[in-house]
Amino acid sequence: MPNIKPRTTHFGYQDIPEDQKARLVHGVFTNVSSKYDIMNDIMSAGIHRMWKDAMMDWLAPKEKQTLLDVAGGTGDIAFRFLKRARIGKAVVLDMTESMLLEGKKREEAEEISSDLSWVVGDAMALPFPENSFDVYTISFGIRNVTRIDDALSEAFRVLRPGGRLMILEFSRLPNQLMQKAYDWYSFNVIPRIGELVTGDKNSYQYLVESIRKFPNQSDFATMISSAGFEKINYRNLSFGVAALHSGWKI
């Protein structure tokens, strides 16, 4: 019988068997969960907050909408969504329970606990029926999914007709000199900060590498279209350090 090679994927710059990635990613976020929020502030000089606010500006949450925030970690997006919607429901789903536990400790979580749920789950196999949510968001998480196409298909499945997909992810700078400067900062500074703040250099080395393995803006827009979404657009943030992608289930 012919040898059947296992499917492979990337974990940063490493090629690994596909069935190992989820475990390795889970380990990364378990290791950094207690310092995740403060590291985001340090690494981006607080700019990630502006990006998330820009996401809400474009999303424009409406009253009585239901949100599924996948890879939602400590709740940043869900908190913002419920504040803007005023009346609504949000589910934060993440594969790493320790990230969710950190989110539950936040003061905002207590204030809106009746409208907020925390679920441990897999972006590629969401534990919800089809047509369950008005909005699906994922911020800085889609690049860590083993099979991005499967996650996008699941997003399409659980959204109601007329539902909105919005993805915030690191992306590409249009200028080669700017990209070179950003790469230098990413590879030389971020892992060292990670080591100082969390004691874990390797996890932040992976996170930097994973950004470079993620598709550029136009290629990712094509992937979203292939999952069935329409009216797809993207907006660059900070010249393309990050990008917002939007699509609709028509």
Backbone angles phi, psi at 131, to 5 degrees: 60, 45
Is residue 75 a contact partner of residue 106, using CB atoms and an 8 Å limit? yes
Rounded to two decimals, the pTM is 0.94
H or E element in which residue 153 lies: helix 148-158
β-pair type (88-94, 65-70): parallel
Please state, in angstroms and rounded to a whole number, the distance separating the CA atoms of residues 202 and 195.
8
Torsion sign (Cα): 20, 196, 190, 80 = positive
pLDDT digits (tens, 9 = 90+) for 75-117: 999 999 999 999 999 999 999 999 999 999 999 999 899 999 9
Please state, in angstroms and rounded to a whole number, the distance separating the CA atoms of residues 218 and 164.
19
pLDDT value for 243:
98
DSSP code of 4?
-
Given a cut of 50, the residues of the chain with pLDDT beneath it are 1
Please state, in angstroms and rounded to a whole number, the distance separating the CA atoms of residues 104 and 73.
10
Domain 45-171+224-250 architecture? 3-Layer(aba) Sandwich (3.40)
pLDDT value for 5:
72
**In the chain, which residues fall in CATH 3.40.50.150?**
45-171+224-250
Cβ within 8 Å of residue 188, ≥6 positions away: none
